[in-house]
Amino acid sequence: MRFSSLLCLVLVFLSACQGGKQQTVSSQAGDTLSLRYAENLTLVAYPGYTIATLRNPWDTLKTLNTYILVPSSEELPAHLPAGTVIRTPLSKSVVYSSVHCSLLNQLGAFSSIGGVCDLKYIKLPEIQEAYSQGSIADCGDGMHPDMEKIIDLHPDAILLSPFENSGGYGRVEKLNIPLIECADYMETSALGRAEWMRFYGLLFGVSSQADSLFAEVDSCYQHLKMRAMLSSVSLSIVSELKSGSAWYVPGGRSTIGKLFRDACGRYAFAEDTHSGSIPLSFETVFDKAGDSDVWIVKYNSERDMSYSDLQADYMGYTGFKAFKQRNIYGCNTAKVPFYEETPFRPDYLLADFIQILHPEIGDLGGLRYFCKLNG
């Protein structure tokens, strides 16, 4: 009898605990914001706050960071889950990357940039002008930022890019300023990376602008993809240049590799399974891609590259079919905002690739980043 009474008490207790757990879960159920392409980002809206969960791209079973976005106009909710609390919208931030400076400018949140790192590498005229007028501070080298400048700014967040096995962010971690880890560059699709603009839109209070811009990017990208599929032309492509003893080519599952595929170009390394660049010997690239119809290269120079420059740089280049037939396209990143624009406007880059690979398509407005090399 005593045992049955005890058993009943245990069952009642377990039932009460289980019931409480269900009630807690249901009362805290949030609305997951639908993301179509991003694999390393999850956004869930709850009453009074939004949780942004960043999956660790180097160990996908782990979380890189969790951010609790709470509107600054509202009181901080009780019993928030574990994570870094961010009061939104951010009004003054230090931004390490020109890519994100460019995005914030596109979203109409430029005034929220209080400081930048690596100013000399940021080609955005708006940033340079704001710096000369004193409205944006130069916070020094991104690897060793000027701590005094950052402290004087009193920023509400620091946006920086995480790296595998980086060992942390040094002294900036001790400032008690939220660090936003911009891991968008680790997405393996162009639209996946671009979709992160919706997260940044939430951070800076411009979510409607971000949603609208991404819808435009997605629509344009899909339209361009269809145009390429309808083309009867099928050209093969090779990219990049030798760097030292290695030639870093985009892996078949990399963002660029997938862009080649979406542009319906025949890429020599399309079957490769890497999602980043792969270092190969010159001989390997030449054997595999030496007969490619088109060759695209990126470089940074005060003057545009010529075929003579390529030959002087490395005689082996002259053996490529695209060199012999003068079908090489160059992107001088010193003169065009390739790195600033393309991460969040992959449709612009896809349009360039389609026009290069399908020259019969002549109504896409001309090339934005690339142009044919001079003789």
> In this predicted model, what pLDDT tens digit does every residue of 36-89 receive, in sequence order?
999 999 999 999 999 999 999 999 999 999 999 999 999 999 899 999 999 999
pLDDT grade, residue 5 (50/70/90)?
very low
pLDDT tens-digit readout, 102-151: 999 999 999 999 999 999 989 899 999 999 999 999 999 998 999 999 99
Structural domains of the chain in order of their starting residue, each with its CATH number: 31-217 (3.40.50.1980), 231-372 (3.40.50.1980)
- Identify the band that residue 22 occupies on the pLDDT scale cut at 50, 70 and 90: very low
> What residues have CB less than 8 Å from 160, skipping those under 6 apart?
96, 97, 142, 169, 172, 179, 180, 181, 182
Contact 77, 70 (CB under 8 A): yes
Tokens of 371: 């142009």
E strand or H helix at 191: helix 190-194
pLDDT, position 28 = 60
Which band of pLDDT confidence, cut at 50, 70 and 90, is reported for residue 166? confident
Contact yes or no for 249/285 (Cβ under 8 A) = yes
Among residues of the chain, what percentage have pLDDT more than 70? 93
Q: What value does the mean pLDDT take over residues 190-195?
A: 98
Distance (Å, rounded) from C-alpha 71 to C-alpha 51?
12
Strands of the sheet containing 93-95, edge to edge, are: 137-138, 113-116, 93-95, 157-160, 179-181
Q: Please give the pLDDT value at position 53.
A: 98
Q: Enter the pTM of the model.
A: 0.89
- Residue 7: the pLDDT is 36
Exposed, middle or buried: residue 61 (CB in 10 Å: 0-12, 13-18, 19+)? exposed
State the sign of the Cα–Cα–Cα–Cα dihedral 275, 277, 279, 283: positive
C-alpha 73/C-alpha 359 separation (Å) is 53
Cβ atoms 294, 329 nearer than 8 A: yes
Confidence of residue 29 (pLDDT cuts 50, 70, 90): confident
